[in-house]
Amino acid sequence: MTRESSSLRAWLVRVIALAFVGLFLLVPLGTVFYSAFAHGLTRYFAALSSPETLSAAKLTLLAAAIAVPLNTVFGVAAAWLLAKYDFWGKSALVTLLHVVPGSLAPREQRDAERDAKQSLAEEARHLAASLPKSVRVQAVVKVGGAAREITELAQTQAADLIVMGRGGGRALRDTFLGSTAERVMRTAKLPVLAVRLAPRTAYRRPAMAIDLDESASRVLSWLLWMLPPPRPRVEIVHALQSPYESLAYSSLSDDQVEERRAELRQAASLKLVELLTKALADGGVSAKDAPWKLHVRHGSPRIVVTKAVKQGNADLLALGTHGYSGLAHTFLGSVAGDLLRDVGCDVLVVPPRERSEAT
């Protein structure tokens, strides 16, 4: 198509749009004004003060006063039900995305795009055939940086969850920038499921690593959403660590140190049970439908959680993240990022709740 024909088509679309607006908006509006002022302003203002007009105005205001609050209440209730529950007729969208590196030569880039589109289209057909008819599947191929393109598409589509494969990272680059999955976690501000295991059945050996904060409720809610009933028991792991332990315990005997650790474990266990019980109650899930076992271990989260995942042969690890980015991530690091590289199972990383969402 030439540039001239493309420009002509654009002008034709504009003319049709303006004609539509004029025919269905401006003409009826002009007719109303013409009819109102056809007999002059005196007759118009006299009609405004007539008993019939005043009665109609009162009826309109009364109807609006009743309808607006009711529409607000029912609209909010309907939106809440649509977002919280699954039911017949509710549709979902699954987007298969492949990002072709923007650093490729033009010819290589075109070949890679073509191959990716063919491959994704075939995969989309197979996936759609295995999912309920209410689920729509689409294939998208982008060119550029993987983390940026994934984040932009997820935000544009208001995605609920990002699912990514995990590959071998490049050590030096990942030290400063993090893997693609980590960069997506920090920028998208959405839950990310990093998949390493080959898909088989529903997760049967889930584990969850939590802190003593409100993130426990959010992580548990997402984990339960991913586990269809009947749910397996969730192994919940908490790493108990004091950053100044060596200084605080330097004057204590071994027995006193162990006694102090036992006190801390007990306090942490009580707090975690309280958080988990509240999270289940808030989600309307009974303890019978979501069995769990708590493990409070003393040590670094990276070591404690990795060891627990290996010992339990977990197939899914769910955890929250504090959302560090930039220099904060470079110097403070990310427990989620370390576990993402260390454990051999799939990892669900749930970001902190946004302030606007929390309020």
- Specify the fold of 194-358: Rossmann fold (3.40.50)
Q: What's the pLDDT score for residue 238?
A: 92
Q: What does the pLDDT profile of the chain (359 residues) look like in tens digits?
A: 444 555 777 788 888 888 888 888 888 888 888 887 777 777 777 777 788 888 888 888 888 889 888 888 888 887 777 666 655 556 789 999 999 998 888 899 999 999 999 999 999 999 999 888 888 999 999 999 999 999 999 999 989 999 988 655 444 344 433 578 888 888 888 999 988 877 778 899 999 998 887 788 889 989 988 898 899 999 999 998 765 455 555 666 777 777 888 888 899 899 999 988 988 888 888 888 899 999 999 888 889 999 999 999 999 999 988 655 544 343 334 677 788 888 889 999 998 876 444 44
Token pair in block for residue 95: 């987007």
Q: Where are the alpha helices (DSSP H) in the chain?
A: 3-21, 27-36, 41-48, 51-84, 106-130, 146-156, 171-177, 180-188, 215-226, 245-248, 254-282, 301-312, 326-332, 335-342, 355-358
Helix (H, G, I), strand (E, B) or coil at 309: helix
Nearest to 311, CA basis, from 319, 303, 299, 321:
303
Q: What's the pLDDT score for residue 333?
A: 47
How far is the C-alpha of 149 from the C-alpha of 99, rounded, in Å?
Answer: 7
Helix H or strand E segment including 286: none
- Domain coordinates in residue numbering, the chain: 3-84, 91-144, 194-358
Q: What's the pLDDT score for residue 35?
A: 81
